[in-house]
């Protein structure tokens, strides 16, 4: 399935490079074996190398590649992008910039104001829904 989707696996990358980058992530998350062991080899590294493929296939004068991730709260988006940042830093040649939607929430007083103004709307009592982000 991975090959049909264009996903890179350990078999596609020189073993020394794969192991070195896995080692960098284990330093970040704690040594193997850990709960991150499977994620490093089956998720973080394949996503990283897929992104590298996308970048390497683009002409040098291309605009930045913008990648969006969507997942439920607590689903691992920040952990994944943290791993990607570490991998881009360790592997060299390409830069990675991360902007999290969490960076755009209204300040606490703004969130409190929205909640007060919309007491009838349970979705606006917590952050994360439309109207809880600072779009100005």
Pick from 71, 124, 63: which is nearest to 101 by CA? Answer: 71
Please give the angle made by the CA atoms of 48, 77 and 27, to the nearest 5 degrees: 60
Upstream peptide bond of 33 is cis (omega within 30 degrees of 0): yes
Buried b (16+ CB within 10 A) or exposed e, 93-130: eeebeeeeeeeeebeeeebeebbeeeeeeeebeebeee
39-81: per-residue pLDDT in tens?
888 889 999 999 998 999 999 899 999 999 888 878 888 889 9
* Length, in residues, of the chain: 136
90-127: per-residue pLDDT in tens?
998 888 898 887 778 888 898 899 999 999 999 888 88
């Amino acid at each position: 399935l991975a090959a049909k989707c264009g996903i890179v696996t350990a078999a596609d990358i020189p073993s020394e490079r794969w192991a070195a980058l896995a080692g960098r992530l284990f330093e970040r998350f704690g040594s193997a074996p850990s709960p991150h062991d499977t994620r490093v080899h089956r998720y973080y590294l394949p996503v990283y190398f897929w992104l590298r493929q996308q970048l390497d296939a683009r002409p040098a004068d291309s605009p930045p590649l913008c990648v969006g991730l969507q997942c439920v709260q607590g689903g691992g988006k920040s952990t994944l992008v943290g791993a990607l940042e570490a991998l881009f830093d360790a592997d060299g040649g390409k830069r990675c910039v991360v902007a999290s939607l969490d960076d755009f929430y209204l300040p606490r007083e703004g969130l409190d104001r929205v909640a007060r103004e919309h007491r009838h709307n349970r979705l606006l009592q917590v952050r994360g829904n439309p109207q809880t982000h600072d779009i100005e």
